[in-house]
Amino acid sequence: MIRAQVLICGGTGCTSSGSGKLITEFESQIEKNGLVDEVKVVRTGCFGLCALGPVVIVYPDGTFYSQVEEKDVKDIVEEHLLKGRVVERLVYNEVAEGTVIEHGNVSLNDTTFYAKQKRVALRNCGVINPESIDEYIAMDGYAALGKCLTEMTPEEVIKVVMDSGLRGRGGGGFPTGLKWSFTAKNQADQKYVVCNADEGDPGAFMDRSVLEGDPHAIVEAMTICGYATGASEGYVYVRAEYPIAVARLQKAIDDAREYGLLGKDIFGSGFDFDLFIRLGAGAFVCGEETALMTSIEGNRGEPRPRPPYPAVKGLFGKPTTENNVETFANIPQILLHGAEFFNSMGTEKSKGTKVFALGGKIHNTGLVEIPMGTTLREIIEDIGGGIPNGKTFKAAQTGGPSGGCLPASMLDIEIDYDNLVAQGAMMGSGGLIVMDEDTCMVDIAKFFLEFTVDESCGKCTPCRIGTKRLYEILEKITKGQGTLQDLDEMEALCNYIKDNSLCGLGQTAPNPVLSTYKRFKDEYIAHVVDKKCPAGVCKDLLSITIVEDKCKGCTLCSRVCPVGAISGTVKNPHVIDQSKCIKCGACIEKCKFGAIIKK
Amino acid sequence: MKSLAELAAIKEKMQNKVVLREGSSDVRVVVGMATCGIAAGARPVLNAFVEAVNGLELNDKVTVTQTGCIGICQYEPVVEIFEAGKEKVTYVKMTPEKAKEVAEKHLKGGNIIAEYTISNV
């Protein structure tokens, strides 16, 4: 009889920090201590707190261990599992510091990281073994599909999705129910369901986590969508760079087929549906729906003009419904608990919850799911644990290379689709990159633009050439060669690219530039007029000097300088040769007297 | 899968295996499992509780867990039962047989077995 379970995160983050070895070690220690019949080890999906991986949770008490190493396993098994004593040095410290540990009851939900979250799309991630269809079923899995097929008409299913207020989580925010109804209306001999798992925004990994942690939710949701829209085949387009996600999804599809949850006559309803995976090679443009479908068809992944929209003429020229992974992940919950369950959360126009991937200069990097309408401040300061090293918050970038930045003055805006767009940012797929005072906004704009320059497919001129020219202007500015005229031209070019590009990639590519220019114009001016980078990032605008009074002549800096730019004799102030200096900052780190400054 | 009944059967079968992870039961049975407890035979007591709770289908209401030394080593194995809104009950010198009895009478029936509690020694 199993009395305790050890859940170990098998998501990509924790796998790369060594959770695979932990599983083996736990199994061997458990065997050594004769606990095989009492304790079970389960490999789950992502818990969300990736910064502190590998993460291990021991149930039934729910003790939350973070950054567990192989050598710690022995202690957890011998102390906690055998003797019931929580290994306090490994407990996630936010809990350990503030709470009294009583009878090993250190629950995950007591942490501020989880307390403000509301998990709908991620509800099974980190709770079930994603490779076990039985565990998914135990958590009410496939019950929504059963309900749809045996008790509801396709029209009723669409109505529930429409009433729930669910909007596309891939970034566009188009009402999902409406999208389904368009495909349902079109008559055709064959229709398709497509799941867009081509997650490309730098820093976003919610789709990967859902596929890794709860793949059956996607299988179930796509089957429901097939029933509602009259499609009998589905494709999941997932990037090949997500090997764990691909393997688990394939296992989920195979198991579902074996159980008859995919295939012919599902639940004896006469409805047939099957699902296939297509691997993407990692081109960003393939996240655009028409390019994605072109790629599934076996052609070069390039977008085409819309209309016709996919609901009319999509995959292989047939009516197609395409939704993002996170959108699908909400579907079974909505159908199981009703539209009200979902539309009772969130704001007036944005219902439900949204998953964000927190990254950048923030304590708790990882995955969080919050009700729409939560403020940016709550996400960053409470859930995210604030900015590390005592630095101050400068801006947050949402929507990745298509989005914009929100400065400190907007920390209190409530996050939803419309508020973000009104502020010149966008929801995007949910990447949230936090920047502190040491980030140069011109440099950030250049970084995102470099990404879109690389990823532009080249089909239309405004995007192919426009983004390249825009990048060159930014490069000129960060090198201190920009003029005020460049700033005007930059803005005009941004608007031209936005208005004339063929697909979403080009239409949104200038957003990071426009939004940083709007919010941090003074930084652009400083680069152009004063030839200074206020954040101290753009190397060409910096000089590193030694303050004569403070230098003790210890010679440490001259020894660490990789290019031999520092000269001086023992006990006499040193000097940096500006023509040789590469501004690497190695000397600043080494100086014990704070005598070297960057400005 | 041809019917909802088949799905329900799998769910039923698996429920016990995942319910542990919800961890928010009303009643907590805590077994002292420090060196003293283990030496006095706490492991079989713990396992007897786990089995009895499962056998009585109390999994969703009762969590069986362990703790370190409670501090009254001469009375080990010690078992404490916490129930929301009620005073904690401490059973001492437990055996697997007594554990089974406590599960039936106390956890299921709601009657404290006074003769096994600490107030009786």
Predicted confidence at residue A86, as pLDDT, reads 85
Identity of the residue in A5, A84, A261 whose CB atom sits nearest the CB atom of B68: A84
Residues of A in contact with B37 (CB under 8 A): 83-84
CB environment A528-541: b (16+ within 10 A), e (fewer): beeebbbbbbbbeb
- Residue among A493, A160, A463 at smallest CA distance from A333: A160
Model confidence at A97, in pLDDT bands (50, 70, 90)? Answer: very low
Residues of A with CB under 8 A from a CB of B: 1-5, 7, 38, 59-62, 82-85, 103-105, 107, 127-128, 134-135, 137-140, 142-143, 146, 150, 259-261, 265-268
Report the chain B residue with the minimal C-alpha distance to residue A268: B2
Task: Determine what percent of chain A is predicted with pLDDT higher than 90.
Answer: 78
Domain extent for B111? 27-120
Same domain, A96 and A185: no
Helix or strand holding residue B90 (H, E): strand B89-91
What are the pLDDT digits (tens) for A11-52?
998 999 999 999 999 999 999 998 998 899 999 999 888 888
Query: A454 with A552, same domain?
Result: no
pLDDT at res. A98: 43
- Rounded to a whole number of angstroms, the distance from the CA of A177 to the nearest CA of chain B is 26
Rounded to the nearest angstrom, the minimum Cα separation between B30 and chain A is 8
Mean pLDDT over residues A322-351, rounded?
Answer: 96
User: What is the pLDDT averaged over residues A131-156?
Assistant: 95
Write down the number of H helices and E strands in chain A.
27, 18
Whether omega before A60 lies within 30 degrees of 0, making that bond cis, reads yes
A561 and A517 in a common domain: no
CB A376 within 8 A of CB A401: no
Stretch among A126-135, A393-402, B84-93 having the lowest mean pLDDT? B84-93
**Mean of all residue pLDDT scores within chain A:** 92
A106 pLDDT band, cuts 50/70/90, is low
Q: Give A103's pLDDT tier (boundaries 50, 70, 90).
A: very low
CATH code: domain of residue B49: 3.40.30.10
Question: For position A22, which CATH number holds?
Answer: 3.40.30.10
Residues on chain A touching B63 (C-beta within 8 angstroms): 60-61
Distance of CA A504 to the CA centre of its chain: 19
Query: Where residue A382 sits, what CATH number does that domain have?
Result: 3.10.20.600
> CATH number, domain at A547?
3.30.70.20
> Closest residue of B to A270, CA-based?
B2
Contact (CB<8Å) B54/A1:
yes
Among A436, A452, A486, which residue terminates a domain? A436
> Are A149 and A243 members of one domain?
yes
- Asked if B82 and B26 touch (Cβ cutoff 8 Å), the reply is no
**For residue A259, which residues of chain B lie inside 8 Å, CB to CB?**
1
Q: What is the CATH number of the domain that holds A192?
A: 3.40.50.11540
Find the chain B residues whose C-beta atoms sit closer than 8 A to any C-beta of A.
1-4, 7, 10-11, 13-15, 17-18, 20-21, 23, 25, 28, 30-35, 37-38, 46-47, 50-51, 54, 63-68, 82
| The pLDDT of residue A388 is above 80 | yes
Which of A35, A41, A110, A137 to mutate to test binding with chain B, by most B CBs within 10 Å of its CB?
A137
Q: Is the pLDDT of residue B26 over 90?
A: no
Check A60 against B54: CB less than 8 A apart: no
Residues of chain B contacting residue A44, judged by C-beta atoms under 8 Å apart: none
Largest CA distance in chain A: 89
What domain range includes position A101? 4-111
Alpha carbon distances (Å) from B60 to A97, A122, A193, B56, B94: 30, 22, 38, 11, 24
ipTM surpasses 0.85: no
* More confident position, B83 or A163: A163
User: Which residues are CB-contacts of A36 (< 8 A; sequence separation ≥ 6)?
Assistant: A30
Interchain pair B10, A138: CB under 8 A:
yes
One domain for residues A70 and A171: no
CA distance A189 to A319: 10
Q: What is the mean pLDDT of residues A191-212?
A: 93
Distance in Å, alpha carbon of B36 to nearest chain A alpha carbon: 10
Lowest mean pLDDT among A97-111, A298-312, A477-491, B104-118: A97-111
Q: Is the pLDDT of residue A101 over 50?
A: no
Yes or no: say if A231 and A321 are a contact pair by the CB < 8 Å rule: yes
> In terms of domains, do A448 and A479 share one?
yes
Q: Quick one: DSSP state of residue B2?
A: -
Q: How far is A107 from chain B (nearest CA, A)?
A: 9
B58 domain-assigned: yes
Distance of CA A239 to the CA centre of its chain: 14
**Residue A467 vs residue A50, higher pLDDT:** A467
pTM, whole model, 2 decimals?
0.88
Average pLDDT over residues A417-429: 89
pLDDT(A164) > 60 = yes
Q: Choose among A62, A84, A265: nearest Cβ to B33.
A: A84
Where does residue A215 rank: exposed (0-12), middle (13-18), buried (19+ CB within 10 A)?
A: buried
Query: In the listed set A391, A411, A436, which residue is the last one of a domain according to the structure?
Result: A436
d(CA B82, CA A211): 39
Cis peptide before A307 (omega within 30 of 0): yes
Q: Mean per-residue pLDDT for A329-345?
A: 96
pLDDT of A466 higher than 70: yes
Strands A192-197 and A320-324: parallel
Last residue of one domain, picked from the residues A382, A406, A436: A436
Among A59, A134, A267, the residue with its CB nearest the CB of B1 is A267
Amino acid identity of residue A576, one-letter, is I
Q: Are residues A472 and A585 in the same domain?
A: no
A94/A352 Cα distance (integer angstroms): 28
Q: Under an 8 A CB cutoff, do A38 and B47 touch? A: yes
Is residue A561 assigned to a domain?
yes
Say what the pLDDT of residue A105 is: 45
Distance from CA of B101 to the nearest CA of A (A): 18
- pLDDT for residue B24: 58
How many degrees, rounded to 5, is the angle at CA A95 between CA A90 and CA A100?
A: 105
* Dihedral (CA of A150, A154, A160, A166) sign: positive
Q: Are residues A328 and A258 in the same domain?
A: yes
Backbone angles phi, psi at A571, to 5 degrees: 65, 10
Are A164 and A331 within 8 A, CB to CB?
Answer: no
Q: Are residues A428 and A470 in the same domain?
A: no
* Among A535, A529, A542, CA closest to A516: A535
Asked if the structure places residue A123 within a domain, the reply is no
Maximum separation of any 2 CA atoms in chain B, in Å: 59
- Measured between beta carbons, the chain B residues lying within 8 angstroms of A7 are 21
* Partner-chain contact B50 A261, CB within 8 Å: no
CA distance A260 to chain B (A): 4
Tell me whether residue A375 is in a domain. yes
In a domain, B91, yes or no: yes
Quickly count: other Cβ atoms within 10 Å of residue A110's Cβ: 17
Q: How far apart are CA A130 and CA A211, in angstroms?
A: 9
CA distances from A75 to A26, A29, A135 (A): 10, 10, 29
DSSP string, A99-136: S---TT---GGGSHHHHT---STTTTTTTS-TT-HHHH
Is the per-residue pLDDT at B85 higher than 90? no
Give B34-76 pLDDT, tens digit per residue. Answer: 788 888 899 899 999 989 988 888 887 888 888 877 778 888 8
pLDDT tens for A397-414 read: 998 898 999 999 999 999
Q: CB-CB: which of B13, B38, B64 is closest to A83?
A: B38
- Which one of B23, B46, B50 has the shortest CB-CB distance to A107? B23
Q: Across residues A361-366, what is the average pLDDT?
A: 90
Residue A61: predicted pLDDT: 79
Q: What's the number of domains chain B is made of?
A: 1
> Residue A100: pLDDT above 50?
no
Of all residues in chain A, the one with the smallest CA distance to B22 is A60
Partners of residue A266 in chain B, C-beta under 8 Å: 1
Task: Give the amino acid at A238.
Answer: V
Does some domain include residue A120? no
Looking at the structure of chain A, the number of domains it has is 5
**How far is the C-alpha of A483 from the C-alpha of A487, rounded, in Å?**
7
Count how many pairs of residues, chain A against chain B, have C-beta atoms within 8 Å: 106
How far is A414 from A397, CA to CA, in rounded Å?
15
- Domain co-membership, A228 together with A333: yes
Sheet holding A320-324, edge to edge: A263-266, A271-280, A233-239, A192-197, A320-324
Q: Is the peptide bond before A332 cis (omega within 30 degrees of 0)?
A: no
CB contact under 8 A, B63 and A134: no
Predicted local confidence at residue B87, as pLDDT: 86
Q: Give the burial string for A335-348 (b: 16+ CB within 10 Å, else e).
A: bbeebeebeebbbe
Closest to B102 (Cα-Cα) out of B38, B39, B58: B58
Give the highest mean pLDDT range of A26-35, A64-73, A221-230, A555-564: A221-230
User: Distance (Å, rounded) from C-alpha A269 to C-alpha A261?
Assistant: 11
Q: Residue A213's closest CA among A107, A142, A121?
A: A121
Residues on chain B touching A267 (C-beta within 8 angstroms): 1-4, 7
> What is the domain-level CATH number for residue A516?
1.20.1440.230
pLDDT over threshold 60, residue A95: no
